[in-house]
Amino acid sequence: MTSESSRMAGKSGSRAARIEPKQSTAATDLSSVLNQLDSAVDLLAAAVDGRLEREAGLADAEAELQRMGGDRTRLAEALDGAEARSRRLENTNREVSRRLVDAMEAIRIVLDRQPQ
pLDDT of residue 25: 83
Q: Output the tens digit of pLDDT for each of the chain's 116 residues.
A: 444 444 444 444 444 444 444 556 877 888 899 999 999 999 999 999 999 999 988 888 899 999 999 999 999 999 999 999 999 999 999 999 999 999 999 999 999 998 87
Side chain identity at 40, as an amino acid letter? A
* Pair 87, 80: CB distance under 8 Å: no
Q: Cα–Cα distance between 20 and 14 in angstroms, integer?
A: 10
Length of the chain (residues): 116
pTM above threshold 0.75: no
